[in-house]
Amino acid sequence: MKTKMKVIFPVALAALVCGASAPAATDPASTNPAAAAFGTNSNPEATMTALFGDPVIAKGKGIEIKQSQLDSVASNLKQLFAARGLAAPPNVDGQALQALIFQQLVLAKATDADKAKGKERFNTSLQTLKTSQHLTDEGFNQLLDKQLILRGQTRNQWEKQNIDQATIPVVLERELNINVTDAEAKDYYTNHPADFEQPEQVRLCDILLLTIDPNTRTPLTADQQQAKRKKIDDLLQRARAGENFTNLAAQYSEDLASKDNNGELPPLSRDRLGPELAAAAFSLTNNQISDVIEMSSGYCIIKLLEKIPAKMLAYTDKIPLSDMTVPDKIKEYLTQQKIARQAPAYLEKLKQASGVEILDPKLKAMEMAVEAAATNAPAMTPEP
């Protein structure tokens, strides 16, 4: 399904609603999309706090925002832009500050039922991620633990952050009385057939040997890389000589997204693969094994299990690798559209009622610029 999901206004709030810090497939050049999405930098926010303290930079009735919170969200936003191949705007701190203000204001309106629904949505999204990437609980936890160590964050803190983010749209749906009917969903499906074309896909097994450190993303030494190349060449010879490819993947592959599934990756279209992998995968015949593929992250060999022809999703179909049906996905999308239209005025009312005061003059000017720009700008439209 090719529908682009509009993100809730403003851009900064959208980053929080969509969970910019949560794992997501963002690096098409990797055969391990979930692993690639995890950041690998040290924790600069903690360093800045240690050096300069953690002053309050904005406050209002029921809200208080500290510099460390702003630094963290600004960092997430920069990652969000970078993941889409875009340069972060100069007023990214203003966007981050507006995000934090609106987040606290909206969450203050959350009922117990809202929080429970937000937690349910977070758990569903997490399970969908694991299913779509063929990640076991153990594999996912290994990836997450590495990220949390680098961020200086606990599992409980990470879960609370993401549950809060999932709760924001729940509150807005209720507060704005948002409702999408079955008739609206069916009408959208009828009038947007191109959105429901599923492109040709491939099912692959892969064996990946990394030439970078998985924690720091820094290249291995030349000798280490040479040893990896010799090893992948040997594995290719063994696979082509008749050894079971899945057994080799389970034993030797360093791709955590597929290793625990005997090397099998989820069905992938061309746009979900890097150019090198796409060229190799779509040129193979069933059960054929590729040559060694050189990528920025390592050496890879793949085996084609199946080519899945392009098709049109029926209205009653389920979205691949998801528990959602086509009508569910359309209703989610149309709900976001309605929120995007109604949220600006509502959020501004909350801000005025709270008497929010920005204490840093530079940040105040940046936040005002964000407001002015967002008033006339269309909603952001990232790929789902």
Q: Are residues 210 and 167 in the same domain?
A: no
- Asked whether residue 193 is domain-assigned, the answer is no
End of a domain among 309, 333, 368? Answer: 309
- Asked whether residue 315 is domain-assigned, the answer is no
- Determine the structural domain holding residue 113 and report its residue range: 11-184+321-376
The predicted model gives 360-380 an average pLDDT of 66
Per the CB < 8 A criterion, the answer to whether 296 and 32 are in contact is no
Q: Are residues 153 and 45 in the same domain?
A: yes
Q: Residue 213: give its domain's CATH number.
A: 3.10.50.40
- Asked whether residue 363 is domain-assigned, the answer is yes
Q: Residue 325: give its domain's CATH number.
A: 1.10.4030.10
Model confidence band, residue 281 (pLDDT cutoffs 50, 70, 90)? very high
- Asked whether residue 273 is domain-assigned, the answer is yes
Cis upstream peptide for 10 (omega within 30°): yes
Provide the percentage of residues in the chain whose pLDDT is more than 70: 82
Return the number of other C-beta atoms located less than 10 Å from residue 265's C-beta: 25
DSSP per position, 169-208: HHHHHHHTT----HHHHHHHHHH-GGGGEE--EEEEEEEE
Q: Are residues 176 and 206 in the same domain?
A: no
The predicted model gives 244-272 an average pLDDT of 87
Alpha carbon 180 to its chain's center: 25
What confidence score (pLDDT) does residue 112 get? 97
What confidence score (pLDDT) does residue 372 get? 67
Q: Are residues 29 and 70 in the same domain?
A: yes
Query: What distance in Å separates the CA atoms of residue 281 and residue 302, rounded to the nearest whole number?
Result: 7
Q: Are residues 153 and 27 in the same domain?
A: yes
Q: Are residues 167 and 58 in the same domain?
A: yes
End of a domain among 309, 329, 356? Answer: 309
Per the CB < 8 A criterion, the answer to whether 212 and 298 are in contact is yes
For residue range 47-96, what is the model confidence (pLDDT) as tens digits? 545 555 788 888 889 889 999 888 888 887 887 787 677 888 888 888 88
- Asked whether residue 20 is domain-assigned, the answer is yes
pTM for this entry: 0.68
- Asked whether residue 234 is domain-assigned, the answer is yes
Q: Are residues 32 and 156 in the same domain?
A: yes
For residue range 175-205, what is the model confidence (pLDDT) as tens digits? 999 999 999 999 999 999 999 998 999 999 9
> How many domains does one find in the chain?
2
Q: Are residues 45 and 111 in the same domain?
A: yes
- Asked whether residue 334 is domain-assigned, the answer is yes
End of a domain among 265, 282, 309? Answer: 309
Q: Are residues 29 and 168 in the same domain?
A: yes
Q: Are residues 37 and 154 in the same domain?
A: yes
- Asked whether residue 343 is domain-assigned, the answer is yes
Q: Are residues 230 and 282 in the same domain?
A: yes
Q: How many residues does the chain have?
A: 384
Q: Are residues 267 and 327 in the same domain?
A: no
The predicted model gives 235-260 an average pLDDT of 91
Identify which has the larger pLDDT, 1 or 333: 333
Per the CB < 8 A criterion, the answer to whether 212 and 204 are in contact is no
Task: State the average pLDDT for the chain.
Answer: 81
Per DSSP, helices labelled H in 245-360 are 245-252, 275-281, 326-354
What confidence score (pLDDT) does residue 28 get? 30
Give Cβ neighbours of residue 384 (< 8 Å, ≥ 6 apart): 1, 3, 4, 5
| Positive or negative torsion for Cα 338, 126, 155, 27 | negative
Identify which has the larger pLDDT, 367 or 143: 143
Model confidence band, residue 374 (pLDDT cutoffs 50, 70, 90)? low
For residue range 86-125, what is the model confidence (pLDDT) as tens digits? 888 888 888 888 888 999 999 999 999 999 999 999 998 8
What confidence score (pLDDT) does residue 16 get? 37
